[in-house]
């Protein structure tokens, strides 16, 4: 039978964060396509809509945490924080939505529940929680990498009679901690940012730590206006191009020095200078082998351990807070404001779950092996089912009855983190297998938006209807992603990059660790080779039915 269904829109985009907004702009304004965006929240913002916990801010400096598609936008917007804080990033994204009139194609408070590829029609049938059905030629996921919260299934969790919150689903009107006894479980990025702020507000705070962390002072403050006006704005084109070709999506130069080729004295002086300057410069500005060589890394790890020993007054706390089981940077590198200093406060206590594990949550608090901690509020800073969790919340089915949940049961498999074999015309923005979470996200997001937009434009020009990653190309890419990861220090820690934070999740390194610039070059070479590894054409089912009908 010939195809009967017509597309309601050219593309459905899922999510209205950085990825969804940028994709909508590209498809609608630059390609003239019709687009329907579905967004679960009641406004734009994605990550920055949901993560409103105290102290939430980005670790990338504000001047490079932005869209680059509009020069006017780059020149007009003035960040106030050196590191952008959650309310400011949210108002930036709201401004982008208003300025480019993006909201008219976004349906808020709507969750995509299922997406099935209809092979005979070469359409994606997209269904929402409201029971609506939309058919689209292309389906593009902008669902984010870190958007499905992980609230651990601790026995008795639901019996707690106080209030509990996950950092990634924070109440919009805030939480009043004044005079309250608070527990924070988790010391990742969200915990390290929120703990000092909650400690200042709460009556008493108990931190439940499973893994001690390295963290570097951010030296956060207001943005340096001279830097912004004189060094950034007149040079945005060059800075952005440098970011696109860099390792991590930021326009900085890595030091050429090697940590083991200088004297102990010189090395310490360099680390001291990096510590004073703060932020990730401590790593990239000091030695280029810190993240590549375990012995070099040991010198930086030990420097930070000594800083913890100097900062925290109570030796019992020092023993718990000094990380010893993984090298610096093998888990997400953290930057902080007053994190270790917070443990000198009288109203802050620390429970080391390695020696004193949680047994259960009770009606009144948390019980560990050593005793009971009564609290009024529990904050779960326990992270996310990253990179795959949000895909698995939807019933995604490709051709021949393929289900994404089954195809990824041993870990995500993709070609370039952009497409999955058996799922034609489905694209992922910063999907697993791309640099994504190992980079300054807007740079990686925009690269995918441009690449997908260019491919769709190419298909239109060449009158091609369908694109699908080939099985062989995908298998080769998955092997390459694993090979690159196996040579890095990331394999020396239990991290969410490896799925290690979710019980039962396959232990597979999910992002691409080869760097933003190298990845971009791969993607460009594939285009230059006529989209090597992708099959582009007309849908087989349509061609067959036309033949059968003598067409």
Lookup: tokens for 446: 């925009």
Residue 444 interacting with ligand NAP (CB under 6 A) = no
Cβ 368 to ligand NAP shortest distance, Å: 11
Q: What are the b/e assignments for 356-389, b being 16+ CB within 10 Å?
A: eebeebbebbbbbeeeebebbbbbbbbbbbbbbb
Cβ 215 to ligand NAP shortest distance, Å: 11
Alpha carbon distance 298, 107 (integer Å): 50
Cβ 162 to ligand NAP shortest distance, Å: 18
Q: Binding residue for ligand NAP (CB under 6 A) from 124, 343, 384, 451?
A: 384
> In three state form, how does the secondary structure of 401-431 look?
HCEHHHHCCCCCCCECCCECCCCCCEEECCC
Nearer to ligand NAP, 5 or 507 (CB): 507
Residue 353 interacting with ligand NAP (CB under 6 A) = yes
Nearer to ligand NAP, 36 or 213 (CB): 213
Alpha carbon distance 66, 70 (integer Å): 10
Q: Binding residue for ligand NAP (CB under 6 A) from 187, 342, 397, 434?
A: 187
Q: Binding residue for ligand NAP (CB under 6 A) from 186, 329, 499, 514?
A: 186
Contact string 39-78 vs ligand NAP (x = CB under 6 A): ------------------xxx-------------------
- Crossing angle of the two packed helices 441-461 and 18-25, in degrees rounded to 10: 30
Cβ 547 to ligand NAP shortest distance, Å: 50
**Count of CA atoms in the C-beta half-sphere (13 A) of 348:** 22
Size of the site for ligand NAP (CB under 6 A): 25
Task: For residue 207, give the nearest of 22, 422, 8, 353 by alpha carbon.
Answer: 353
Residue nearest to ligand NAP (CB): 188
Cβ 466 to ligand NAP shortest distance, Å: 34
CB 271 within 8 A of CB 300: yes
Query: Which residues ranging from 478 to 497 are in contact with ligand NAP (CB under 6 A)?
Result: 496
Q: Binding residue for ligand NAP (CB under 6 A) from 15, 191, 285, 514?
A: 191
101: Cβ contacts below 8 Å, ≥ 6 apart:
none
Nearer to ligand NAP, 261 or 325 (CB): 325
Nearer to ligand NAP, 58 or 404 (CB): 58
Cβ 384 to ligand NAP shortest distance, Å: 6
Cβ 509 to ligand NAP shortest distance, Å: 14
Lookup: tokens for 237: 């084109």
Residue 189 interacting with ligand NAP (CB under 6 A) = yes
Query: Which residues ranging from 283 to 322 are in contact with ligand NAP (CB under 6 A)?
Result: none
**Euclidean distance between the first and final Cα of the chain, in Å?**
12
CB 358 within 8 A of CB 208: yes
Nearer to ligand NAP, 83 or 303 (CB): 83
Q: Binding residue for ligand NAP (CB under 6 A) from 102, 134, 184, 185?
A: 185
Helical H runs in 213-293? 225-226, 236-244, 264-277, 281-284
Cβ 310 to ligand NAP shortest distance, Å: 23
Query: Which residues ranging from 193 to 212 are in contact with ligand NAP (CB under 6 A)?
Result: 193, 210-211
Is the torsion defined by CA of 44, 47, 51, 54 positive or negative? Answer: negative
Lookup: tokens for 166: 């996950």
Q: Binding residue for ligand NAP (CB under 6 A) from 62, 86, 147, 167?
A: 167
44: Cβ contacts below 8 Å, ≥ 6 apart:
16, 17, 20, 21, 93, 94, 96, 97, 102, 103, 106
Contact string 113-152 vs ligand NAP (x = CB under 6 A): ---------------------------------x-----x
Q: Site residues (CB under 6 A) for ligand NAP?
A: 57-59, 146, 152, 167, 185-191, 193, 210-211, 332, 353, 381-384, 437, 496, 501
């Amino acid at each position: 039978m010939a195809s009967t269904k017509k597309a309601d829109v050219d593309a459905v985009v899922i999510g209205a964060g950085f990825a969804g907004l940028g994709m909508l702009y590209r498809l609608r304004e630059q390609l003239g396509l019709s687009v329907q965006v579905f967004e679960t929240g009641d406004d734009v913002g994605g990550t920055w809509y949901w993560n409103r916990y105290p102290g939430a801010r980005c670790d990338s400096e504000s001047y490079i945490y932005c869209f680059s598609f509009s020069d006017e936008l780059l020149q007009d917007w003035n960040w106030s924080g050196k590191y952008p804080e959650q309310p400011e990033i949210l108002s930036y994204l709201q401004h982008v939505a208003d300025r480019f009139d993006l909201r008219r194609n976004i349906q808020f408070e709507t969750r995509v529940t299922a997406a099935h590829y209809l092979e005979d029609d070469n359409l994606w049938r997209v269904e929402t929680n409201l029971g609506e059905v939309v058919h689209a030629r292309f389906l593009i996921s902008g669902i984010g990498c870190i958007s499905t919260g992980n609230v651990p299934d601790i026995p008795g969790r639901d019996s707690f009679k106080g209030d509990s919150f996950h950092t990634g689903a924070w109440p919009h009107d805030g939480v009043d901690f004044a005079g309250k006894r608070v527990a924070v479980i988790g010391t990742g990025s969200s915990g390290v940012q929120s703990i000092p702020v909650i400690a200042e507000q709460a009556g008493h705070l108990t931190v439940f730590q499973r893994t001690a962390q390295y963290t570097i002072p951010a030296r956060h403050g207001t943005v340096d206006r001279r830097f912004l006006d004189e060094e950034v704005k007149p040079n945005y084109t060059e800075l952005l191009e440098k970011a696109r070709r860099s390792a991590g999506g930021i326009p900085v130069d890595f030091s050429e020095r090697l940590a083991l080729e200088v004297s102990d004295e010189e090395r310490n002086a360099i680390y001291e200078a990096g510590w004073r300057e703060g932020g990730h410069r401590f790593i990239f500005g000091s030695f280029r082998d810190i993240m590549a060589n375990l012995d070099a890394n040991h010198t930086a790890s030990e420097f930070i351990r000594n800083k913890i020993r100097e900062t925290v007054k109570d030796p019992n706390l020092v023993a718990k807070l000094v990380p010893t089981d993984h090298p610096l940077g093998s888990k997400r590198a953290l930057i902080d404001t007053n994190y270790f200093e917070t443990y000198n406060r009288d109203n802050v206590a620390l429970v080391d779950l390695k020696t004193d594990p949680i047994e259960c949550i009770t009606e009144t608090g948390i019980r560990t092996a050593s005793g009971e901690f009564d609290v009024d509020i529990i904050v779960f800073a326990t992270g996310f089912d990253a990179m795959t969790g949000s895909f698995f919340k939807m019933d995604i089915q490709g051709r021949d009855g393929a289900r994404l949940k089954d195809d990824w049961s041993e870990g995500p498999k993709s070609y370039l983190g952009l497409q999955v074999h058996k799922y034609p015309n489905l694209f992922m923005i910063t999907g697993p297998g791309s640099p994504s979470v190992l980079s300054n996200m807007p740079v990686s997001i925009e690269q995918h938006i441009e690449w997908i937009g260019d491919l769709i434009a190419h298909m239109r020009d060449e009158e091609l209807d369908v694109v699908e990653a080939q099985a062989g190309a995908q298998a080769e890419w998955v092997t390459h992603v694993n090979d690159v990861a196996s040579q890095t220090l990331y394999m020396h820690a239990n991290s969410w990059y490896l799925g290690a934070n979710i019980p039962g999740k396959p232990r597979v390194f999910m992002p691409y660790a080869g760097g933003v610039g190298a990845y971009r070059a791969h993607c460009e070479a594939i285009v230059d080779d006529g989209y090597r590894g992708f099959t582009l054409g007309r849908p087989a089912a349509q061609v067959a039915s036309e033949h059968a009908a003598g067409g």
